[in-house]
Structure 1
Amino acid sequence: MRVDPHLVVAETVAGVVCGAVLLVPRLRWPVAPLVLTVATAWFGFPLLPLLSIALFSVAVDLRAWWAVGYAVAALAGNLLSYRETALWSATAYSVTVLQPGLAIVCGLWLGNRRRLLDALTSDLRHLRVETELREEAARTAERSRIAAEMHDVLAHRLSLIALHTGVLTTRDGLPEPVVERLALLRATSVAALTDLREVLGALRDTDSPALRPAVREVRELVEEARHAGQRVVLVMDGTPELAPTTHRLAVYRLVQEALTNARKHAAGAPVTVRVSYDPPETFVEVTNPAGSAGPDAAGSGYGLIGLRERVGALGGRFSAGPAGGGAWRLTGRLPHPAEAERP
């Protein structure tokens, strides 16, 4: 069959123009599909591959009905086009239906897959941000707890200073300079106590159990755990009263968190608690072998983040993790103030 050379030239020019339209990102929607639909309807089979590419791009954007509409318009319009390149010839009939349909189906699949990946990526990003916010909240809560505990301790000591100096000023026979110095000391103590309450008083929550460690010791905590049925061995060196108050509070919190985690994740397993207040550092180590998980084994893990923040604020080192053989080990090292100041 003889092919009209003018038709070949026209189809070539149309193909070049349509290909250029497809390559321009700004024209991919809605210009490119519209141009390819008109060109395919007029010139037929030679431009069908380019139309399939345009339909694929439309389907990727999840415009399924538009893609189907363009395909139907091109196929229907081709009924009135040149017979030499008609889409509805006996040799091209199967390709005429299969190629656009396959392009639309593949485009829809790819578009849905991209949307799914975008949604999963967005969820992952939100989870990461949420985790960071929770960790920051745990650190902030631990700092507030430390401030509240120190408020109790310092307020108690300053009130004792004010009380004793007030009693001394009432005694007879003291030299006038001593009385003046005692009065100044009492006034300064009362002013410092007032300033402390104004700065940190808002952080104090009398209903919160976080303030109890200020007047409690590790031995009491271990005895409570034993009464609850937990097997705990306590090894303690040094004198707790000679250690800084901040160390004693940190030791209490470390042991408390370790015993709680042992009850959750290693129910029935014995726990060994070692505490040393001897220089050059206060040392805490809590170990337990593997055991069966308790009914409330699920945890957020933010308790350990708070402990790490507390120990770090005191210039110490904290670690918690597996110790081999399924055991778990938590340690904290808090340098004594004289040791921490050394270069």
Structure 2
Amino acid sequence: TQNILQMTETNPEGRFMIDNLLFPDSTTFVIQARTKKGFATVDITIDSTAIPKTVHKIPFSNDSVQYMDDYLANVRDKYYNEGGMRVINLKEIVVKGHKISQENENKSIYSSVMNYSIDSEDIERTNANSVYDLLGTIPGVQRSGNQIRIRGNNRPPVVVVDDVMYDAPVDEMEQNKNSFGPIGGSILESIVVSDIASLEIMKGSNVSIFGSAGSGGAIIITLKKGAEVKGAPSPGLITIKPLGYTQDVQFYNPKYETPEEKQESTPDLRSTIYWNPFVTIGADGKQEIEFYTSDNPGSYHIVIEGISADGRVCRYVKDL
């Protein structure tokens, strides 16, 4: 999900909270803060995530350690049979593929088909000596010395490098309409053209994600792997990736539905045969589950845990 905007005000102590927001882990947020008069002279500090310590509160012993030897033996056998010491020499083969451009490998979170974009190969063909020279070759970008404007805007664009905002027009500098970015020069001056994997020009409704800072459009730069940029992010703007929820992953259960699958010669050495966190019980208090066993002979250790309708913890353990 992109382009979700929310606004809030701090309390008298300068603290704020954006509540009721669910998001998957690794989601990037751009936080912009301004004073009551609209100035960007604001330091934004995010509280660290408080992760509670794990405590074994279930009133039963943890008996998984005693099965570690069997697990390690399965891992060893799996290693031998799936490319470890058991090596099979094949005849010569030729693998054909296509080159993946840096543009596809390094995409900004702000990338969109609506943006004007050039990749590293296009950039190299311009023979530009500086980022300003490069921007001067892009349609719709107006350059006057080191002053950059995107056509149709009288304010300078925000500059984002590797998803971090560095240059953003601030209201304190409105008295000088030609000013660009934070005092001390633009971050564009410290970027080497050959380090750029892709450059995009963002305008129109897309820049609403940056709030008022994006009113002049945006220059989105993605650097090649290993390249770095020296400079401080724009005042009053930070980019964070807070801890979110984990996407659901289904436990792997093999299926042997065809004769070829049933005759598969690769041994099934799984140590955990079946796991299901969402087993529901029928009205008669019974439930039936099915699973394929592994090829490793031995006994089965069954652990059933759950919570009753009235909140009681239930646990059943049996070896077969």
Structure-1-length-normalised TM-score: 0.18
Name which one, 1 or 2, has greater alpha-carbon Rg: 1
- Give the number of the structure whose residues are more often strand, by fraction: 2
- Give the structure, 1 or 2, with the largest relative contact order (CA under 8 Å, sep 6 or more): 2
Structure-2-length-normalised TM-score: 0.19
